[in-house]
Structure 1
């Protein structure tokens, strides 16, 4: 018989050993400000950003639908500009998340560009470690945390 844990385990990421939590190896707290952002908030922030990108692309195209490249370009521009300057996108800000380097600093323009390009490929965001950092975060030494 299939158990609920069997179906939901992939959403929670790799199992963490007893007494461990995502981010502990990185020196981050278990919960509260500065802790690793959980998958539900990440997905919700991504949906907000994608929805806003869709609306902006629709407006730029004069109300015409069906230009997926324009939506992706708007999404990438939003991510690069906002992450590179502020450390968060619209969706991140609304859900109390921010991207930062492992040393605590802002991600900066280069990290925002590389992180966004990898995020647009989708696969790197789906492959993550025990600290719930996707390949796009690991590549640039960044982490998505709660504000």
Structure 2
């Protein structure tokens, strides 16, 4: 008969750092206010922003067509709001904000860069273990819970 004893998994490699909550290695808290925002809040905030952008575009920018109008409004909305107050309408609704890692305001240059990359979509779906998309990393920002 075969031996049916259970084997313990080998001890973890002591040289390998323990898994940490997203953002801890960036100096952010693991939970609560100031911690990295979860995917659910981020996706819901994005949906809210896209709905607002679509409604504004269809109401105000009828001449730009169905495709370009919402994209342009989405870009401008993120550029202006994130650069100045650190959050878009969707972010405000779901309780998250965009913060620079050095604590300074996001500012127009980093806000414009982040908004452009976010509008391109691909950088937003490439992310790291701290839930920072490429658009966040390039702009040296992180999305946190308020």
TM-score with structure 1 setting the length: 0.84
Divergent runs of 4+, >2 A? none
| TM-superposed deviation, 1:19 | 4.6
- Partner SS, residue 67 of structure 1: helix
Q: How does 1:108-147 map to 2 (within 5 A)?
A: 108-147=107-146
- Show CA shifts across 1:80-124 (max 9, x none): 000111000000011111101001221111111000100011011
Query: Alpha carbon RMSD of aligned pairs, Å?
Result: 1.6
Q: Whose RCO is larger (CA < 8 A, sep 6+)?
A: 1
The residue number in structure 2 matching 1:95 is 94
- Partner SS, residue 55 of structure 2: helix
The residue number in structure 1 matching 2:74 is 75
Alignment: residue pair count: 130
8 Å contact 1:124–1:135 — kept in the other structure? Answer: yes
* The structure with more radius of gyration: 2
| TM-superposed deviation, 1:58 | 0.8
TM-score with structure 2 setting the length: 0.84
Q: How does 1:29-108 map to 2 (within 5 A)?
A: 29-61=29-61, 67-108=66-107
2:118 & 2:19 partners in 1: Cα distance?
31
Name stretches of at least 5 consecutive residues in structure 1 with no aligned partner: 1-16
Name stretches of at least 5 consecutive residues in structure 2 with no aligned partner: 1-16
